[in-house]
């Protein structure tokens, strides 16, 4: 992404100029007071591994559907993750703009992409890990900060992939490392879900992990989750939000509880595109 395009995305959402003139102290004061009075919202920008699913896709479940189970109100989740999107296509389709318009001081913007950025044969989605992908992540970071919100970067959750010896394999190339580098350089909290999910799949093993992914009588999906898998990945996310002090202990709950999978529900249909 060029600098001009990055500026256009942020400015197009009506962000930078209005906030640049405001003193940082005023934004901090508003952040503390506003969040305390109205509660905070955690916005999720990501792909199908996090996205809301509907009845026609059940039992496929995005981890964003389970994340509210681990968070105390008045902290709420606004899940804007969409199937099939990369950082590039999410921005090109203008999907960051409604998030930017809704962000308020004290809110959180959690960004997790990488699976679809790696699709080098698809020019609508491909973003090179050490180039456009990092540039795009910085757009999310800059947009959140311009609104007085806290950006958070998460490495992508790993696929279910094992070698013949039963060792869980990495499948995401340089994208997790590129995300870590952006977070470190930008001073943004990092949730290393790639590393944590790989450890989890290794601990569970090749057979047990099938019960966490969308394996059905007609499909063997090693990327997307069913309710147990979505719950466990959401638990990883919530624990990382606590560990990195993005959230305080009183904002999380049930981190060590066994949650009923029937808490997951699928709305009957996706909302109509406007």
- The SS3 of residue 163 is coil
- Phi-psi label, residue 192: left if phi above 0, alpha if psi -120 to 50, beta otherwise: beta
Q: Is 67 inside a domain boundary?
A: yes
Residue 142 neighbours by CB distance under 10 Å: 18
Triad 27, 18, 92: Cα angle to 5°:
110
Contacts of 23 (CB under 8 A, 6+ apart): none
| pLDDT recorded at residue 271 | 75
pLDDT tens, residue order, the chain (274 aa): 444 444 444 444 433 333 333 333 334 344 444 544 568 999 999 999 999 999 999 999 999 999 999 999 899 999 999 999 999 999 999 999 999 999 999 999 999 999 999 999 999 999 999 999 999 999 999 999 999 999 999 999 999 999 999 999 999 999 999 999 999 999 999 999 999 999 999 999 999 999 999 999 899 999 999 999 999 999 999 999 999 999 999 999 999 999 999 999 999 987 765 4
109 located within any domain:
yes
Instruction: Write down the pLDDT at residue 160.
Output: 98
In a domain, 273, yes or no: no
The count of structural domains within the chain is: 1
Helix or strand or coil: residue 198?
A: helix
Helices marked H in the chain: 3-12, 16-20, 24-38, 63-66, 87-92, 96-102, 132-146, 175-186, 193-208, 227-243
- Domain membership flag for residue 268: no
- Give the Å distances, CA to CA, from 170 to 153, 156, 161, 201, 265: 19, 11, 7, 11, 30
| 17 within domain boundaries | yes
Tell me if 228 is assigned to some domain: yes
Torsion sign, CA atoms 51, 53, 58, 63: positive
Any domain includes 264:
no
pLDDT for the residue 38:
67
Structural domain contains residue 274: no
DSSP code for 77: E
Give me the CATH number covering residue 238: 3.40.50.1110
**Contact present, 73 and 116 (Cβ < 8 Å):** no
**Contact indicator for 65, 78 with CB cutoff of 8 Å:** no
Q: Where in the sequence is the domain holding 154, given as residue range(s)? A: 3-255
40 neighbors 74 (Cβ within 8 angstroms): yes
Nearest to 112 by CA among 10, 170, 180, 186: 180
């Amino acid at each position: 992404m060029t600098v001009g395009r990055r500026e256009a995305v942020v400015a197009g959402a009506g962000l930078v100029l209005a906030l640049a003139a405001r003193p940082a102290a005023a934004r901090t004061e508003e952040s503390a007071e506003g969040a305390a009075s109205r509660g905070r919202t955690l916005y999720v920008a990501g792909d199908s591994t996090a996205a809301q699913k509907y009845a026609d896709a059940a039992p496929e479940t995005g981890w964003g559907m389970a994340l509210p189970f681990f968070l105390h109100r008045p902290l709420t989740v606004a899940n804007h993750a969409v199937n099939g999107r990369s950082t590039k296509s999410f921005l090109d389709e203008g999907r960051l703009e409604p998030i930017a318009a809704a962000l308020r001081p004290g809110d959180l913007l959690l960004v997790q992409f990488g699976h679809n950025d790696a699709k080098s044969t698809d020019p609508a989605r491909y973003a090179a890990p050490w180039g456009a992908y990092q540039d795009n992540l910085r757009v999310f970071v800059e947009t959140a900060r311009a609104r007085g919100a806290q950006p958070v970067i998460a490495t992508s959750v790993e696929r279910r992939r094992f070698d013949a010896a039963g060792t869980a394999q990495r499948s995401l190339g340089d994208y997790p490392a590129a995300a870590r580098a952006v977070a470190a350089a930008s001073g943004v909290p990092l949730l290393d879900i790639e590393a944590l999910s790989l450890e989890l799949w290794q601990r569970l093993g090749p057979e047990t992990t099938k019960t966490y992914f969308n394996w059905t009588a007609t499909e063997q999906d090693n990327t997307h989750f069913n309710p147990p898998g979505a719950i466990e990945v959401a638990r990883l996310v919530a624990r990382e939000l606590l560990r990195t002090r993005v959230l305080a202990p009183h904002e999380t709950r049930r981190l060590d509880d066994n949650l009923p999978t029937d808490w997951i529900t699928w709305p009957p249909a996706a909302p109509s595109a406007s």
